[in-house]
Amino acid sequence: MLFDTHCHFDPDADIAGEIARARAAGLVGLLAVGGDEAANRGAEIAVSLAPGFAFPAFGFDYQPHNPRRPPRLPAFDSPGGGVFAVGEIGLDYSHGDTAEEKAAQRERFVAQLELAAEKRLPVSLHCREAADDMLAILREHTSPVLMAECRSGALHCFTGPADFAAELLPLGYSFGISGIVTFSGASALRQAVRTLPLDRILVETDSPFLAPVPRRGHRCEPAFVAYTCDRVADELGVDREEFAAVTTRNALRLFAIPSAVAPL
């Protein structure tokens, strides 16, 4: 029982093949995540090909090619439109952005957090070299309703440190562990993972990026989440199958995916 909580689909790629291989690898579902026009479209295609297996998240990320305020996403306009999260959204200060560009990122981020709170949807977060600003914004704009349910969202591709996770836990956030955890130089991440509550751990690929060992160097895809899941289970000293089931339950709860769709 596996669930990839963060993967992207290229609209021009063999999405049907990726989904078929994911099913064969034991996945019961995946969150097809947006972030820009192409990724949002790829998520729509994945859902159209595999309803009840692929679940969409739409959003506009931190990249400077996006407008200051993201355009309205039509899927959010009607209640019950089948959207399960807002994302990928967040802050990334690693590209030498100017103060004005960072302010534009924060503006986009807040606008989409407000959309998520309005629709009572969790968010899929990206954070790089922006922890202080992200924490300040999340403390102000996280949905109180979802926070109380521990369904605020997921910090995708969590790389630590443990004290950053400790600040996010009371706000109701979970943590997506990607293939980075399998890399030989990721001992600090593995140490941070050991500090996380089991009910807040998710596994993800961030495909087509970050292929895990032993597929490092290849184009990543959702089927590879099994390698990440096994590596984290070994690190925590828990049974691999039991850990896969736990992370899948965590994903279904966080994104409010009907149990009839992906029963455990």
Over residues 164-187, the mean pLDDT reads: 97
Q: Is it the case that residue 68 has pLDDT exceeding 60?
A: no
Q: Is it the case that residue 78 has pLDDT exceeding 50?
A: no
- Indicate the pTM of the whole model: 0.93
77 located within any domain: yes
88 located within any domain: yes
261 located within any domain: no
190 located within any domain: yes
Note the pLDDT tens digit of each residue in 222-238. Answer: 999 999 999 999 999 99
Residue 136: the pLDDT is: 98
Find the range with the poorest average confidence among 60-74, 191-205, 229-243: 60-74
Q: Write out the chain in H/E/C secondary structure.
A: CEEEEEECCCCCCCHHHHHHHHHHCCEEEEEEEEECHHHHHHHHHHHHHCECCEEEEEEECCCCCCCCCCCCCHHHCCCCCCCCEEEEEEEECCCCCCHHHHHHHHHHHHHHHHHHHHHCCCEEEEEECCHHHHHHHHHHHCCHHHHHCCCCEEECCCCCCHHHHHHHHHHCEEEEECHHHHCCCCHHHHHHHCCCCHHHEEECCCCCCCCCCCCCCCCCCHHHHHHHHHHHHHHHCCCHHHHHHHHHHHHHHHCCCCCCCCCC
Note the pLDDT tens digit of each residue in 210-225. Answer: 999 999 999 999 999 9
263 located within any domain: no
Q: What is the CATH number of the domain that holds 237?
A: 3.20.20.140
45 located within any domain: yes
Domain span including residue 78: 2-254
Note the pLDDT tens digit of each residue in 109-168. Answer: 999 999 999 999 999 999 999 999 999 999 999 999 999 999 999 999 999 999 999 999
264 located within any domain: no
Residue 260: the pLDDT is: 46
Q: How many domains does the chain have?
A: 1
248 located within any domain: yes
Q: Is it the case that residue 72 has pLDDT exceeding 90?
A: no
